[in-house]
Amino acid sequence: MEEYLVTGTEPRGYREKVEAQRADMVTALEKGDIKIRVVADENIAYVESSHRAGTSLGYSQAPVVIVFNPLFKQNPGEAYKKYTICQYDGSWVDLVAVKNELEKLEKGWGGSPTIIGSPQGKSSELAPEKIIEIVQKNLKSHK
């Protein structure tokens, strides 16, 4: 990045790396490794995937994204089930209220007004429909 900012020259191999990541994402979509469902009057995208493009693809569909990664892995450690809930900006959903409600059902939820996540280091036991229900209930009005 520094080279590009200083000289305006694209770093060697950068374009190839981006194209390879894009091809990998397209393959994952075609194979069904990334599943996206839009709910709540197209305000929420529910994405199920362990692919790194899940959040970005969710944002291409809705301003609020719920990502469920069934194989989330932190280095080192075993893979576990992880939810991440995020919004394009703080105007779409009251994520503090969502976090507080989810915390009553499952200890360890945390985050900020624009992104929250299920407990670190252990699988979430909450059902996707419960997560969607709570997020939908806390959507803010957009007229």
Report the C-alpha gap between 124 and 29 in whole angstroms.
24
Question: 21 Cβ partners below 8 Å, 6+ apart?
Answer: 53
- Map tokens 């194989």 to a residue: 71
Q: How confident is the model at residue 43 (pLDDT cuts 50, 70, 90)?
A: very high
Residue 143 has pLDDT above 70, yes or no: no
Give the DSSP H/E element, type plus range, for residue 16: helix 14-31
- H or E element, residue 101: helix 95-105
For residue 3, pLDDT over 80 is answered with no
Q: What is the structure's pLDDT at 100?
A: 97
Neighbours of 104 (CB within 10 A): 8
Residue 13 tokens, joined: 């191999």
Write down the pLDDT at residue 74.
Answer: 82
- pLDDT for res 15: 84
Coil vs helix vs strand at 98: helix
The pLDDT score that the predictor gives to residue 21 is: 86
**pLDDT tens digits, 74-114:** 878 899 999 999 999 989 999 999 999 999 999 999 999 99
Domain segments of the chain as ranges:
1-31, 34-137
pLDDT tens track for 16-40: 888 888 888 888 888 888 999 999 9
Give the integer Cα–Cα distance in Å for 67 and 89: 16
At the topology level, CATH places domain 34-137 in Diaminopimelate Epimerase; Chain A, domain 1 (3.10.310)
What is the structure's pLDDT at 31? Answer: 87
**What is the pLDDT at residue 81?**
96
126 or 4, which is more confident?
A: 126
- Residue 68 has a CB neighbour count (10 Å cut-off) of 22
